[in-house]
Copies of this chain bind each other. A is one copy, B any other.
Amino acid sequence: MTRSEENYLKIIFHLGGSDSIPITTNAIAEQMETKPSSVTDMAKKLAEKGLVNYKRYQGVSLTDQGTKTALSIIRKHRLWEVFLVKKLDFSWDEVHEVAEQLEHIKSEKLIDKIDELLEFPKFDPHGDPIPSKDGKFMVRDKQLLSEMPIGGKGVCVGVKDSSAPFLKFLDKNKIALGHTIQILEKEDFDQSLHIAMEGRELRISHQIASNLYVKKNE
């Protein structure tokens, strides 16, 4: 597996899709920051290797083998992110770029030992689930904060947008995973929220609320 092949599989996985709803060449090209023609070439190559299903003009979907490979890369990426945060004091907005490199290191023993060192974490610093060796992962019953009703209360468990600017914004406003949030009021005009969190009250825009996941409970 080349690094490029691994990146394609990872992105195809993240784009979701299935045998019935395959991923379009264009969508992949956009995520890979490359051209659709390059994607076509790679689709053929991955199909040859049995990692994706591909028919001309019909998009691609991962085979079982491709899904397994994608999950193993995602597992590595997320474990390295936890490592960087827990063991090396990186902040959650700094880890993605480095993990993009570390995820391609080829050594099963290495990643298993990292997993062990971290005591088998189930979620990465952004709240995304970490697949186990055999490709299983926890699906958390979560919803966007923006979709919670007034008066609703929930624990912040993840972010939808994990870009550095958003994460830095959250840090600056002391919003972190694990905090309990209650919606006090919704502004009809712009859908901004008035929330209570860790004993203080603040106002956040709809854009922020629609990128924060809270655990569905009660």
- Are A114 and B88 within 8 A (Cβ)? yes
Residue of B nearest to A112 (CB): B88
**B101:A113 contact, CB within 8 angstroms:** no
| A88-105 near B? 1/0 per residue, CB < 8 Å | 111000100110011001
- How far in angstroms is the closest Cβ of chain B from A111? 10
In A52-92, the 8 Å CB interface with B consists of: 84, 87-90
Q: How far is the CB of A73 from chain B (nearest CB, A)?
A: 15
With the chains together, A84 CA to B109 CA distance in Å?
Answer: 10
Chain A interface size, as a band, is 10 to 19
User: Is A107 an interface residue when CB atoms closer than 8 A count as contact?
Assistant: yes
Check B88–A113 contact: CB distance below 8 A.
yes
A114 closest partner in B (C-beta): B88
In the bound assembly, the distance between CA atoms of A101 and B108 in angstroms comes to: 13
Cβ–Cβ < 8 Å partners of A42 in chain B: none
What is the distance, in angstroms, from A194's C-beta to the closest C-beta of chain B? 38
CB distance from A205 to the nearest CB of B (A): 31
A172 at the interface (CB under 8 A from B): no
Residue pair B105, A101 in contact (C-beta under 8 Å): yes
Question: Inside 8 A of A88's CB, which chain B residues have their CB?
Answer: 110, 113-114, 117
A90 to B114, alpha carbons, bound, how many Å? 11
Instruction: Check A109 against B94 for contact (C-beta < 8 Å).
Output: yes
Instruction: Please tell me if A200 contacts chain B, counting CB pairs below 8 Å.
Output: no
Measured CB to CB, the residues of A under 8 A from B are 84, 87-90, 94, 97-98, 101-102, 105-107, 109-110, 113-114, 117
